[in-house]
Chain A
Amino acid sequence: MKKITTRTLAPLLLSACLAQMGTAQASIAYVSNEKDDSLSLIDLDSLEVIETIDVGQRPRGITFSKDFSKLYICASDDDTVQIMDTTTHQIIGELPSGEDPEQFSLHPDNRRLYISNEDDALVTVVDAQDATVLAQIDVGVEPEGMAVSPRGDLAINTSETTSMLHWIDTETHELIHNTRVEQRPRHVEFNQDGSRFWASSEIGGTVAVIDVDSKEIIKTLRFEIKGVHPDKVQPVGVKLTDDGKYAFVALGPANHVAVVDAQSFEVLDYLLVGRRVWHMEFDSKQQLLLTTNGISGDVSVIDVDDLKVTKSIKVGRYPWGVAVKP
């Protein structure tokens, strides 16, 4: 069914795109559906799903190459990272990711991909251009969150069971520091200039803001939602606006996204979204924020200026990752 849709729609879309050449094209959000082995494509003008594409097994983390010509997909149960051509939507290659790749982050050089191998307590560094393994770095149990600093000199990996942030020197590929945080760190997000990063602890229920130069935790954020037991407030995804104004924190089974003042660290609001919200992404102008809601199988759309949830879009089963192509 899905295949038919893809195949029949692809030429149509292609011709539609060609017909529209010259006019502004809508940007598209790609959403990985963990339990459907597929991607849902959402047109960000109409906010509708325009296509569903079959990919490898258990797709989780997804990210674009810097020029948006390729999409890298962690196909966790296939033990590979797939490369998709974003014009044809064909899988054009695979990267030797190590076992069970879950999340990854692309270095600003557009070549080095830092991949968490959840089952093997490893971070694998792959050259995405010639598909070779550059390094494998031992980290704690169940590595998950992965981020490379915009400065390019530092990568941070979180190990869930060891409850640590591992600081990786991207020159030597050695660990230069470890920071213990609260239980089950899931995600890391750098700010625009790479001077700080935010790390969520799912079971601890907190987000640590860490200063890169001093390597110190400068703030530990806690969340409190009326009517939700504190144990169910489980932060996962974090997104920061480029203007340094807001941080958004997805609170998992609490079904809310926290809006935080990124300067004063004050929690400004909690926005109700779909069930079990994990990851998020802005559109290219940072006017919209999309959230993946695993249990309800949808994507919530947040208006960043108004701080309101404006729409929810049904996608596949267990949406996990989201990436936006302008």
Chain B
Amino acid sequence: MDVRQLAYNVVSLSMLGLGSIARNSTREVIYRYFLHIPRGQSGRNNNGEPAQNDNNNGEPAQNDNNTGCIMNSYTAHHRRVTHSLRGSTPAALRFALFWLSLLLMAGLSSQAFSADLQIRIGYLELIKERPPLLSNVLPEPEDSGLQGARLGLKDNNAGGRFLGQNFELLETRSQQLTELIEQARDWQNEGVELLLLNMDAEALLELAGQFSPDQVLLFNVGSAENALRRGQCLPNLLHTLPSRAMLTDALAQWMKAKRLTDWMLIEGARPEDKAYADSLRRSAKRFGAKIVEQKQWSFDTDLRRSAQREVPLFTQGEDYDAVLVADELGDFGEFLLYNTWLPRPVAGTQGLKPVAWHRVVEQWGAAQLQKRFDKLAGRWMNSHDYAAWAATRSIGEAVASSGTADALSVRRQLLSEQFQLAGFKGRKLSYRSWNGQLRQPIALVQPRALVSQSPQEGFLHPVTELDTLGFDHQESQCRDLLAAANH
């Protein structure tokens, strides 16, 4: 019996049961028809339309806890069903239907998992300490990244069920790296070889060092650190989050195209601010911009009250075309806009911002991805979500085309020239074979609109213009991960 034939059996089984994730969509339609839930209301938080919130980050997920170690094996049904029962339905009816659907699922779920190939993906997140910040009015969502992985899982399963492949996501989030390492070891013993890591570079390297390269395949969905792509490459580490260099190159190309080439650079005092500023300096050199003035932000006053008085004085100096800001956590950067001594645009970590993803991206079919994410998470999709989605989908595509799911064969697939991922960015995405970075266009956004997408026209490259962003082969000391995978 060939794979496809088996797939039909699975499909027909899932037709009977309510097990398969995609069945939920049908259920949702049915609910909507019977209960007259207005369209668009079903998958959202009770707080309503995220897009109309002034809070650009939408709502943090309701059931995520910021402390301690959280473990659960996520199956999309539960969340999805609860959501589809919200809205204008009477509470009692909602309650009854909810339990009814849970009972149905419990009874039939065994059928749902009768797939030929079970692929388990681990998600490990080191929960960050958040220092007190000045721009704290609009908090970051606490489940950045995780929700993207969940959406990627749903997308994988929607296709996987036709091929007899079932994907599962195991999730562990902790403030303790040691707990995450222990978890990764346990998983690896149980045969979980594909891991998404949402953590800083240092933690990532420490965790990666626990395994030999052929044991696990790691996806960096949390660190933009340049060193991981330039010198500290690991043969089994791929990056779906753009490096800082890709972001700042994307911005520098646009600045060059707009002839805004004299920069005042303002950087914060934190190590990540310095890293972003260094990356800006590199991009300036690369694309012919000049940093005419550099300043370190060291104020300890509350700028929310005094920006109008302090910032103009602080930004006096040589004539500049633009102010470039390196303030990754958002301490002071927001207050530079409209307060600079010369009336100039602000760009970088605030103002015009290069990102992997943002809610305002809607071209190239992105509107559909945004809608699906919104339905699942009840908030806007951000760059970390996109990176986790892209990592999960990469696994899905590799397994769908090869039918194998071990770490080494997935790695070979992803690094091969044939690999392509449709990532809603207007062109196919692939991995750089020298450092494992996912090539991708970078969006330049302001809070309510897409301004541009880099690479800009005219920045040429012998292979692909996407490689004008970040570390090209010659600039990276890392060498041929594909050859390493095929050793």
Contact A141 B29 (CB under 8 A): no
A269 at interface, CB cutoff 8 A: no
User: What is the interface of chain B, defined by CB distance below 8 A to chain A?
Assistant: 4, 7-8, 11-12, 14-15, 20, 22-23, 25-26, 28-29, 39, 155, 158-159, 162-163, 365, 368, 371-372, 397, 400-401, 420-422, 426-428, 464-465
**7 tightest CB-CB pairs across the interface, nearest first?**
A162-B159, A231-B427, A183-B422, A203-B422, A184-B422, A178-B162, A141-B158
Contact A178 B4 (CB under 8 A): yes
- With A119-B371, A121-B158, A253-B426 known as contacts, the answer to whether A138 contacts B420 (CB < 8 A) is no
Contact B28 A120 (CB under 8 A): yes
Contact B25 A120 (CB under 8 A): yes
Contact B155 A141 (CB under 8 A): yes
What residue in chain A is nearest B441 (Cβ atoms)?
Answer: A231
List, in ascending order, chain A residues with CB within 8 A of B12's CB.
174
Contact B420 A182 (CB under 8 A): yes
B155, B162, B428: the one contacting A161 at CB < 8 Å is B155
A79, A138, A178: the one contacting B25 at CB < 8 Å is A138
CA distance A246 to B456 in the complex (A): 37
A164 at interface, CB cutoff 8 A: yes
Contact B25 A180 (CB under 8 A): no
A232 at interface, CB cutoff 8 A: yes
- With A121-B158, A203-B428 known as contacts, the answer to whether A183 contacts B421 (CB < 8 A) is yes
Q: List 6 A-B contacts (CB under 8 A).
A: A163-B397, A164-B159, A166-B162, A175-B11, A178-B4, A178-B162
B84 to chain A, nearest CB (A): 11
- With A119-B371, A162-B159, A162-B162 known as contacts, the answer to whether A175 contacts B428 (CB < 8 A) is no
A132 to chain B, nearest CB (A): 12
CA distance A122 to B400 in the complex (A): 21
B14, B162, B365, B420: the one contacting A164 at CB < 8 Å is B162
A99, A160, A174: the one contacting B422 at CB < 8 Å is A160
CA distance A74 to B421 in the complex (A): 29
- With A184-B422, A204-B420 known as contacts, the answer to whether A231 contacts B162 (CB < 8 A) is no
CA distance A202 to B158 in the complex (A): 20
List, in ascending order, chain B residues with CB within 8 A of A182's CB.
420
- With A98-B29, A136-B29, A140-B159 known as contacts, the answer to whether A118 contacts B368 (CB < 8 A) is yes
List, in ascending order, chain B residues with CB within 8 A of A119's CB.
368, 371-372
List, in ascending order, chain A residues with CB within 8 A of B422's CB.
160-161, 163, 183-184, 202-203
Contact B158 A99 (CB under 8 A): no
CA distance A238 to B12 in the complex (A): 32
Contact B158 A203 (CB under 8 A): no
What residue in chain A is nearest B424 (Cβ atoms)?
Answer: A161
B468 to chain A, nearest CB (A): 12
Within 8 A of B (CB), among A171-222: 174-178, 180, 182-184, 202-205
What residue in chain B is nearest A102 (Cβ atoms)?
Answer: B368
B41 to chain A, nearest CB (A): 13
List, in ascending order, chain A residues with CB within 8 A of B22's CB.
121, 138
B119 to chain A, nearest CB (A): 15
B29, B162, B420: the one contacting A140 at CB < 8 Å is B162
What residue in chain A is nearest B428 (Cβ atoms)?
Answer: A203
Contact B428 A163 (CB under 8 A): no
List, in ascending order, chain B residues with CB within 8 A of A175's CB.
8, 11, 162
- With A163-B422, A175-B8, A203-B422 known as contacts, the answer to whether A142 contacts B365 (CB < 8 A) is yes
A291 at interface, CB cutoff 8 A: no
List, in ascending order, chain A residues with CB within 8 A of B368's CB.
118-119, 142, 160-161
CA distance A159 to B162 in the complex (A): 12
List, in ascending order, chain B residues with CB within 8 A of A136's CB.
26, 29
List, in ascending order, chain A residues with CB within 8 A of B162's CB.
140, 162, 164, 166, 175, 178
Contact A231 B39 (CB under 8 A): no
List, in ascending order, chain B residues with CB within 8 A of A99's CB.
29, 39
CA distance A244 to B141 in the complex (A): 56
A34 to chain B, nearest CB (A): 12
List, in ascending order, chain B residues with CB within 8 A of A177's CB.
4
CA distance A203 to B428 in the complex (A): 6
Contact B29 A203 (CB under 8 A): no
CA distance A160 to B23 in the complex (A): 18
With A121-B22, A162-B155, A176-B8 given, name 14 new contacts (CB 8 A). A98-B29, A119-B368, A121-B25, A122-B26, A138-B22, A138-B25, A160-B368, A161-B158, A163-B400, A175-B8, A178-B162, A180-B401, A184-B365, A203-B427
What residue in chain A is nearest B460 (Cβ atoms)?
Answer: A229
What residue in chain A is nearest B375 (Cβ atoms)?
Answer: A119
List, in ascending order, chain A residues with CB within 8 A of B420's CB.
182-183, 203-204
What residue in chain B is nearest A175 (Cβ atoms)?
Answer: B11
Interface centre among A138, A166, A175, A202 (most CB of B within 10 A): A138
Interface centre among B12, B28, B365 (most CB of A within 10 A): B365
What residue in chain A is nearest B14 (Cβ atoms)?
Answer: A138
What residue in chain A is nearest B401 (Cβ atoms)?
Answer: A180
Contact A140 B28 (CB under 8 A): no
CA distance A136 to B28 in the complex (A): 12
List, in ascending order, chain B residues with CB within 8 A of A183's CB.
397, 420-422, 428
B14, B401, B427: the one contacting A232 at CB < 8 Å is B427
Contact B25 A229 (CB under 8 A): no
What residue in chain B is nearest A161 (Cβ atoms)?
Answer: B155
Contact A138 B427 (CB under 8 A): no
A137 to chain B, nearest CB (A): 9
A296 to chain B, nearest CB (A): 15
A58 to chain B, nearest CB (A): 10
Within 8 A of B (CB), among A81-113: 98-99
Contact B365 A160 (CB under 8 A): yes
CA distance A118 to B371 in the complex (A): 11
